[in-house]
Structure 1
């Protein structure tokens, strides 16, 4: 994804009905212990990932999503692994997935979160490419401390692994970190997978940014929490360009996804 001084992002690829382009790194999927807001979004993300892992109680969320009308489809969405300290994993959920061959493993390290433990599990696997992409299925709603903690873990993991790209798919947005370089967010309008609502948040420290493709573009603009920030901005072009001298969080709102996602194929 990195080309010289420019980093390109196309978050709509993971929500498209078709296959990923052949030159795209196939991501892994990390399911956190947080509500899964949309089955249709979930099914498309699952289809576009090569390895699916639940962080401890994330397995409860996956299992419970298939109550009622979706129950017959539970067996079509078996994760490759469930990993964490396992203090949240219910006995009935563990028994179900274990009986179907899912790898359930425990890490009792009290100095790392289930998110961090799951990321270690992902990196323990061989990869054909040095570039790693991980889709994180979580939420920024609910407890404020947990939402901020999740944003902290995004920057921590990307700082530890320079070739890692994390995508946070929360209840209504896609969020990812723009690093200190020229960043291009592609296909923001034509695929109709997103609304025009975006935000550029300097939650990791002060930054100076220059943008094009937004309704309210800025040039050499100092942004800092507690001072001035570009929230509630709007896309007006197919590409949004952001030059920044420090990491910032970019978030774009998802449009309502058409129903009818294709069934997943178990690899």
Structure 2
């Protein structure tokens, strides 16, 4: 491990991020680690990562010069993304990843696949538009009525739901089957069960704390949904 933290860790990637969302992540996961060019994104918003991890081929020379040399941790192999390199190099109770979605579509798709394949500490991807979690086999969420909940399985899965307007029981969800986008909450206590891993759950960004609570994470925050 390159970084070991007793608190949650915010991972920052190279895609555009806002000061507000980075600040909200750091309130909940105050240790900041950058994936390659994410170090420059953080510096531009007034934050310096304690470690920068990746192949470092996208790290601007001016940014590199502003970082302590002992905070740079190059991993030269090209078989995995910088997001994957950071995930396997950080040990923490939970991880928030910001700056890994929303720029190049292929990078976003790879980040989603990496999230689903990750087997370590719970990780939530965060952007100005949504929060994304890889659902465990059983997931309970406390959400306001009318909240948009999108389910996107990366491969065929079956399951059951309670509290959603359109139940998923009896359906095979998958990229080439029926999808579960833009469902809605009709009861505050939403419960999802899946017969296999691989389903991503998309929620509005203001549901970050609800997503963390659903994963069993107690973060430093003002409360469920409190963005």
- Normalising by the smaller structure, the TM-score range is 0.7 to 0.9
CA separation of 1:182/1:112 partners in 2, compared to 1, >3 Å: closer, same or farther? closer
Once the two structures are superposed, residues 199-224 of structure 1 have per-residue CA deviations (whole angstroms, 9 ceiling, x without a partner) of 01111x11112111112223232212
Q: In the alignment, does 2:39 pair up with 1:59?
A: yes
Counterpart of 2:22?
42
Q: In the alignment, does 2:205 pair up with 1:254?
A: yes
Counterpart of 1:6?
none
**Alpha-carbon RMSD:** 2.4
Counterpart of 2:140?
184
CA separation of 1:41/1:82 partners in 2, compared to 1, >3 Å: closer, same or farther? same
Q: In the alignment, does 2:97 pair up with 1:97?
A: no
Secondary structure of the residue aligned to 2:118 is helix
- Runs of 4 or more, structure 1, over 6 Å off, are none
Counterpart of 1:166?
123
Counterpart of 2:14?
33
- Asked if structure 2 preserves the Cα contact closer than 8 Å seen for 1:79 and 1:102, the reply is no
Q: TM-score, normalised by structure 1?
A: 0.69
- Asked if structure 1 preserves the Cα contact closer than 8 Å seen for 2:159 and 2:194, the reply is yes
Q: In the alignment, does 2:88 pair up with 1:120?
A: yes
Once the two structures are superposed, residues 167-206 of structure 1 have per-residue CA deviations (whole angstroms, 9 ceiling, x without a partner) of 0102310110113x321123x228xxxx711101111x11
> Structure 1: how far apart are the matches of 2:138 and 2:207?
30
Counterpart of 2:76?
108
Secondary structure of the residue aligned to 2:204 is strand
Secondary structure of the residue aligned to 1:148 is helix
Tell me, which stretches of 5 or more residues in structure 2 are unaligned?
1-5, 209-220, 222-227
CA separation of 1:108/1:218 partners in 2, compared to 1, >3 Å: closer, same or farther? closer
Q: TM-score, normalised by structure 2?
A: 0.80
Q: In the alignment, does 2:106 pair up with 1:157?
A: no
> Structure 2: how far apart are the matches of 1:189 and 1:61?
33
- Asked if structure 2 preserves the Cα contact closer than 8 Å seen for 1:80 and 1:102, the reply is no
Q: In the alignment, does 2:180 pair up with 1:230?
A: yes
Report deviation, 1:84. Answer: 1.2
Report deviation, 1:122. Answer: 0.8
